[in-house]
Amino acid sequence: MERIGCYTTARVTGGRIERIERHAGRLRRDAGRLGLARPERPAIEEIALAAVRAELGRGGGIVRIEWSGAEPRLSASTRPLGAEPGTWRAITARALHPGPAARAGTKALDVPAWDAARAERSAAGVEESLLFDGAGRLVEGSRTNLVVVTEEGLCLTPARGLGPVEGLGLELAREAVPAIVETLGIDRRTLARARELVAVNAVRGAVAIVELDGSPVGDGRSGPLAQRLRVVFPTGRVIPERLS
């Protein structure tokens, strides 16, 4: 049975929820876009903080705050952050992105293409899978927004009109690097010639994708944009970059 609702995931560092006020605002925004009543901001923060205190204490991890149900209710859960490589590998998802009508840019529950892309990522043993639409345009990753540094040095991200999640991580990246601009025109040819491909979300921060479908992206190493964006986010446990 399909669930109706939206959620946000936030980084917890030393028992503190990073940017909780912005996550609460994002959850309220997404609820409105989905035609749901909006949860109250104090209630969002209260339930998230209660979950963190009970389950993480002064430690670190991830808190997920969900607003869902026929009569929407708030819930919150936590999990460990875990360790991931300092650079990522990715595949092209077989699932096609369904476009902007599927979830109105929100982090909605139970979107089949998104769930399928995540399953493909796990099966392939890589960190991300990239979703393209039926016209061959890059839209987003299965858990991140994406920024591409083109062969010409332009910093591009897929336009909101294509239907990617309007993530907080990408907002933070664009505040730090105003040169990142939206475009409808990132295709496989652009990626094949790109200098950098960077995955961004509020929990994992900014991570260079250095391999796509078994081929190197750029020179196969983390580039200047990824390194510049990493300082915008808290640092967590990472495995050193893979050696080529």
244 inside domain: no
Q: How far is CA 233 from CA 19, 87, 109, 206, in A?
A: 10, 15, 25, 7
For the cut 70, the answer to whether the pLDDT of residue 238 exceeds it is no
Residue 112 and residue 25 share a domain: no
Alpha-helical segments (H) within 133-204: 168-176, 188-193
d(Cα 118, Cα 195) in Å, to the nearest integer?
Answer: 25
Residue 132 and residue 39 share a domain: no
Residue in 116, 127, 186, 120 with CA at minimum distance from that of residue 151: 186
CATH of the domain at 28: 3.30.470.10
Single pTM value for the model: 0.93
218 inside domain: yes
For the cut 80, the answer to whether the pLDDT of residue 243 exceeds it is no
Domain that holds residue 44: 5-79
d(Cα 56, Cα 54) in Å, to the nearest integer?
Answer: 6
In this structure, what token pair is assigned to residue 169? Answer: 């991580």
Q: What was the pLDDT predicted at 3?
A: 80
With residue 140 as reference, give the H or E element that holds it.
Answer: strand 138-141
Would you tell me the crossing angle of helices 168-176 and 20-33 to the nearest 10 degrees? 120
Is residue 91 within 8 A of residue 120, CB to CB? The reply is: yes
In this structure, what token pair is assigned to residue 63? Answer: 């808190």
Residue 144 and residue 54 share a domain: no
- DSSP-derived secondary structure letter, 162: G
Give tens-digit pLDDT for 53-104. Answer: 999 999 999 999 999 998 999 999 999 998 889 999 999 999 999 999 888 8
